[in-house]
Structure formats: C-alpha cells, structure tokens
Amino acid sequence: FKAAQHSWENALAQLQIVNPDLKFSTEGMGMLRKVVDGQIVIPDQYWQMELDDEEEDEAEEGDNGDEGRGEGHEEGHGESDG
C-alpha cells in the first residue's frame, strides 16, 4: 500500500513540475478513487482503507503539531531567561 501511495504522490509531483503554469486542485483525488459518470468516487471495497488512511493522517498531523509547539515553548523559555 505504501509503495502505491508513493507512486501516486510521485505522479502528482511530476504533473505539477511539467505544468508549472497550470493551477489545478488535487482535493478529492486519491489513489483508491476512480471516475464514474464524471465524478470521483471511492469504490465500496476501498471505503475502509480510505477511512483508515484518513485517521492515520490525522494522527500524524496531531503528532507533528505537538512537537512543534513543544520546541517553540522551549525556545521562548530560553529567550525570556535572557
């Protein structure tokens, strides 16, 4: 799954490089989604995987946010000590 995700992100990055003047949105896109009747949908067999991936992303964002606040607090504390 991680290899497929890396390939997906790499493909998006390449599209952005070869089309630098083109502004396009990737919101709502995903490697497990497909186009049906002109709309991007998540096939039934991938719903649970999408939910798990979203929860994992949210957990990672929460972890990164806590670390950043902790480092900022330490720096601020050192500055106030003079």
In this structure, what token pair is assigned to residue 68? 């950043």
In this structure, what token pair is assigned to residue 47? 């719903």
pTM: 0.50
For the stretch 9-41, pLDDT in tens is 899 899 999 999 998 888 888 888 999 999 999
Which residue do the tokens 């799954």 mark? 1
Residue 49 contacts by C-beta under 8 Å, 6 or more apart in sequence? 1, 32
**∠ CA 54-57-58, rounded to 5°:** 85
What does the pLDDT read at residue 13? Answer: 92
Task: For the chain, give the mean pLDDT.
Answer: 79
What does the pLDDT read at residue 65? Answer: 59
43 CB-side CA count, 13 A = 7
Domain boundaries, given as residue ranges, for the chain: 2-60
Residues 39-57: what's their mean pLDDT?
A: 88
**73 pLDDT tier (thresholds 50, 70, 90):** very low
In this structure, what token pair is assigned to residue 39? 């709309």
